[in-house]
Every structure is written in C-alpha cells, then in structure tokens.
Amino acid sequence: MSILLQPLKCSACGAPLKAKERDRMLLCSHCGTLSLVTAGKTAPVNFAIAAPAIESRDALVYIPFWIVNAEVSVTHEKISGGGISRMVSGQKQMRGVRDFYICAADAVPEEYARVWNMELTLKQPEIKTVPDFAGSERVVMTMEQETAGENAEFIFLRYEAEIPGTLQELDYEFRVNSTKVLYLPAYKKSTSYQLGV
C-alpha cells in the first residue's frame, strides 16, 4: 500500500502551511491568510474576529464558531398541552431566515458549547470586529462545515422539543444558505470559560 501525501498550501499566496494538531483553519505565516482545510485541500473561507466587549484579567482566547445561516419553515406541528403556554410566554420561534451559532472547538467542554450555541442563536450578539488575534491564542477548530449544518438543525429541533407542551408531530424544512467562521473572544481560567461578547 502506498500513500501520497501532498503538502497543504495557502489558498491566497501558495506558501506551505503547517498543520497545528487537527486544526481545520490554518494560518499562513507568510501572508497571514486563514485557509479552511477540507478533504485534504485548502480553500478560502469567510471569517471574522470579534472584539472583546468585556475585560478580564484571565487569559484571552479566540474560540471558533460556525455561523450557519439557514431558512427554517414549519409546515405542520402538533403540540399536546402547553400550546397556550407557548403563546402566553411569548417564546421566540426559530422560523424564517436566521443565524445559528455552532461552537467548532473540541477543546471547549460540551457544557459550555451547548449553552453558548443556544443562547447565541436566540440572542444574536452585536459584534465589532478586529483585524487580527493580537497575539492571543486561537483555539483549534475541529468541526467540519457539513457537521455545523447538522448541528444547527439539531439546535432547532432541541429548541422545539424543550419549549412548553409535548411536541407530537413536526413537519419542517431546514435549508442552509451559507456558512462562515466567527472567532469569539473568551476568557479562560483553568478549565472554565467566559465569553467576552
């Protein structure tokens, strides 16, 4: 058996890239471009880096999130009990076109990622961007783009199942329009994290 290993090259300047662990986003040391690694090849990726909105003495790190823009349409749903509670409580519905936030780093404990995914999806933060990571650690991105779309759909289903009433039937369409990467600032202390947005 033979294996042909091809070096990864920057999607902008063609310089060789070095992989950092299992990182799906590689930073070119020559031109500073971030490239997405998919199926052993590099490609340009739409990404942004959010500026911290709060300050802390803890270490600033940047955590990658996939922002999945999707259109959700529900054609039929049947709820047993709680239907009135849903209307009275005024809970937001995940319908129409919206952005889903998906934490894309295995290094972040699941209990943080799960809460952030739902909270950020429901209450979209106002983001001011910065041009670079300013010497702060960039957490390794481990999630593939396709998996992010699947996780976005899961967030929608989880939300529908958790609001008041027993969801008995749900017919829906979930269509991913686009994806991009957003690095959100977080403060890390030992193994705990606090988002900085």
What is the rounded CA–CA span in Å between residue 120 and residue 168?
27
Q: How confident is the model at residue 2 (pLDDT cuts 50, 70, 90)?
A: very low
Exposed, middle or buried by CB within 10 Å (0-12, 13-18, 19+), for 62? buried
User: Alpha helices of the chain — where are they, by DSSP H?
Assistant: 83-89, 110-122, 145-162
Please report which confidence band the pLDDT of residue 20 belongs to, taking 50, 70 and 90 as the band edges.
low
**How many alpha carbons fall within 13 Å on the CB side of residue 148?**
29
Residue ranges in 15-58 assigned as alpha helix (H): none
CA nearest to 77, candidates 99, 90, 94, 89:
94
State pLDDT tens for residues 99-138.
999 999 999 999 999 999 999 999 999 999 999 999 999 9
CA gap 155, 17 in Å, rounded? 34
Asked if pLDDT for residue 4 goes beyond 70, the answer is no
Q: Are 60 and 35 in contact (CB under 8 A)?
A: no
**CA nearest to 118, candidates 95, 106, 104, 101:** 101
Between these two residues, 36 and 184, which has the higher pLDDT value?
184
3-state percent helix, strand, coil for the chain, nearest multiple of 5: 20, 40, 40
The type of residue at 193 is Y
Residue 123 is predicted with a pLDDT of 92
pLDDT at 160: 81
**What's the predicted TM-score (pTM) here?**
0.86
Strands 96-103 and 192-195: unpaired
Higher pLDDT among residues 191 and 124, named by residue: 124
The two three-digit tokens of residue 114, written as one number? 């799960």
Tell me which residue of 64, 56, 54, 23 sits closest to 188, measured CA to CA.
56
Residue corresponding to tokens 């996939």: 66
Look up residue 82 and give its two tokens.
Answer: 């709680």
Task: Choose among 10, 66, 68, 4: nearest CA to 37.
Answer: 10
- Nearest residue to 127 (alpha-carbon basis) of 49, 48, 50: 50
Average pLDDT in the 33-51 region? Answer: 88
